[in-house]
Amino acid sequence: MKSIAVTGYRRILCPIDTSECSRSAVREALGLARRFGATLEVLHVHHVPAYVQPSILVWAAVGPRPLWEVAEEQAKTEVDQFLSTFSAEDRGALTVSYEVGDAANVIVQRAKTSGVDLLVLGTHGRTGARRVVLGSVAERVVRLAPCPVLVVPMSDSGGRDDDRGRAAPEGEPK
């Protein structure tokens, strides 16, 4: 693993799945990026089901389209909706990218090839049988990443507060 200079991080990658766990991770990553003057890339990895050929055509409102194209469009729509809940200033502080494939493998590969200093990702906090059956992207990334990984649990408020030390605005649930 490479060491981090005293000056901090320069390039932060925050993989998201548009869940509340991801919302907490993005908030944490934004704070770190501001603190260290780092760039922040938000990465969404989606997949086309393995048992379906990506070139298969599906009928859409505009006629037949390749399944991969429809999946990509849906992923971008979900990410746009997810990010719309952040301020314009926050959205302007990050770049967004999309990849297709196995989430953990794509995240680790991106970190290796992009010179990422820090990965910040959320965790659902599953344990026991659910974790074994569903697997853990966070666990696989921690084991395989070429850089430090900050795993952020979902905040008690569902990611609504700006950070763990500040209360939610008056009138909003805590």
Res 153: pLDDT: 85
For residue 172, being part of any structural domain is answered with no
The residue to which tokens 């991770």 are assigned: 25
What pTM does this model have? 0.76
For residue 165, being part of any structural domain is answered with no
- Which residues, including other chains, have CB under 8 Å from residue 169's CB and lie 6 or more apart? none
Res 124: pLDDT: 72
For residue 103, being part of any structural domain is answered with yes
- Which residues, including other chains, have CB under 8 Å from residue 82's CB and lie 6 or more apart? 16, 18, 22, 23
Torsion, Cα of 110, 88, 27, 146 (10° steps):
10
For residue 5, being part of any structural domain is answered with no
The CATH number for 55's domain is 3.40.50.620
**CA within 13 Å, CB half, 32:** 25
Residues 142/1, Cβ–Cβ less than 8 Å = no
Q: Domain count of the chain? A: 1
Domain that holds residue 132: 11-153
For residue 162, being part of any structural domain is answered with no
For residue 47, being part of any structural domain is answered with yes
pLDDT (tens place) for every residue of the chain, 174 residues total:
555 554 689 999 999 999 898 999 999 999 999 999 999 999 999 876 666 666 666 666 667 777 777 788 889 999 999 999 999 999 999 999 999 899 999 999 999 999 999 999 998 755 554 444 345 888 899 999 999 999 998 765 544 334 333 333 344 443
